Chain A
Amino acid sequence: DTEVTQTPKHLVMGMTNKKSLKCEQHMGHRAMYWYKQKAKKPPELMFVYSYEKLSINESVPSRFSPECPNSSLLNLHLHALQPEDSALYLCASSQSPKDRTSYEQYFGPGTRLTVT
């Protein structure tokens, strides 16, 4: 099973709201990722967690706050977003880079976020 699940599928929020995106995988992967994707563009890496520790932050504004409560779960907390933050937010997971047998990333279906 190579499934990554994301909830919710769609989210509409105002600029003063606080919301969270959730991602879950049960493949035993120890690396998890958040990407942002605008229409007709490739995904842009935001954060990487490896063994539940934040290993990469691609200079993402602090209004995005990631959290990895355990090896299967990844959250993205949203606060005071701007309309330009509207996008498809994708979660992905992969075997830890320390495991040389598999490096590919498996993506979830995404959360379509609209900031009004």
Chain B
Amino acid sequence: AQSVTQPDIHITVSEGASLELRCNYSYGATPYLFWYVQSPGQGLQLLLKYFSGDTLVQGIKGFEAEFKRSQSSFNLRKPSVHWSDAAEYFCAVGPPLRVNKLSFGAGTTVTVRA
């Protein structure tokens, strides 16, 4: 069975500082990997995805993520955080060819202080 762990429940970062959110997965093969962001009371917005190929993927809003097979990780980064990045971030994994069954991590709440 696949599972996703986001070790950090809550992260507080200063505006302009860098941000890294951790995601570890457990799966027998390399799954398809996603990061979503959810602002309060809103739906989920896809930030980026990894299926195969280049292990550093670029997403929207200045985010990037790096897939590390040896560590079963898919960490999300942003070099300089804006106040509008305050939100809930979810890592998700899906088995190749059957990603209609996504498994979500518990989420990381990001607070941005001025």
Within the complex, which residue of B34, B49, B107 is in contact with A42, where a contact is CB–CB below 8 Å? Answer: B107
A42-B107, A104-B99 known, 11 other contacts, Cβ within 8 Å: A33-B100, A40-B88, A40-B109, A41-B107, A42-B106, A50-B100, A90-B44, A105-B99, A107-B36, A109-B43, A110-B42
Least CB distance from B42 to A in Å reads 6
Q: B24 to chain A: closest CB distance in Å?
A: 15
Interface residues on A, range: 20 to 34
Identify the closest chain B residue to A103 (Cβ): B99
Report the minimal beta-carbon distance from A69 to chain B, rounded to whole angstroms: 20
Bound CA span A66–B82, Å: 39
Is there contact, CB below 8 Å, between A56 and B106? no
A42 & B104 in contact (Cβ 8 Å cutoff):
yes
How many pairs of residues, A versus B, come closer than 8 Å at their CB atoms?
61
Contact of A43 among B41, B44, B49, B94 (CB under 8 A): B44
Chain A residues contacting B51 (CB-CB under 8 Å) are 103
The reply to whether A43 and B104 form a contact with Cβ atoms under 8 Å apart is: yes
| Contact call A97/B44, Cβ cutoff below 8 A | no
Which of these, B32, B36, B88, B109, contacts A103 with CB under 8 Å? B32
Residues of A within 8 A of B41 (CB): 88, 110, 112
Cβ A104 vs Cβ B34 within 8 A? yes
Leading 3 A-B pairs by shortest Cβ distance: A42-B104, A107-B43, A107-B44
Type the 1/0 row for B81-114, where 1 means its CB is closer than 8 Å to any CB of A: 0000000101000100111111011110100000
> Could you tell me which B residues sit within 8 Å of A by CB distance?
32, 34, 36, 41-46, 49, 51, 88, 90, 94, 97-102, 104-107, 109
Query: What are some 19 contacts across the A-B interface (CB < 8 A)?
Result: A40-B88, A40-B107, A41-B107, A42-B90, A42-B104, A42-B106, A45-B101, A45-B102, A55-B100, A94-B100, A97-B98, A97-B99, A97-B100, A103-B49, A103-B99, A104-B46, A107-B46, A110-B41, A110-B42
State the A residues within 8 Å of B (CB): 4, 6, 31, 33, 40-43, 45, 48, 50, 55-56, 88, 90, 92, 94, 97, 100, 103-110, 112
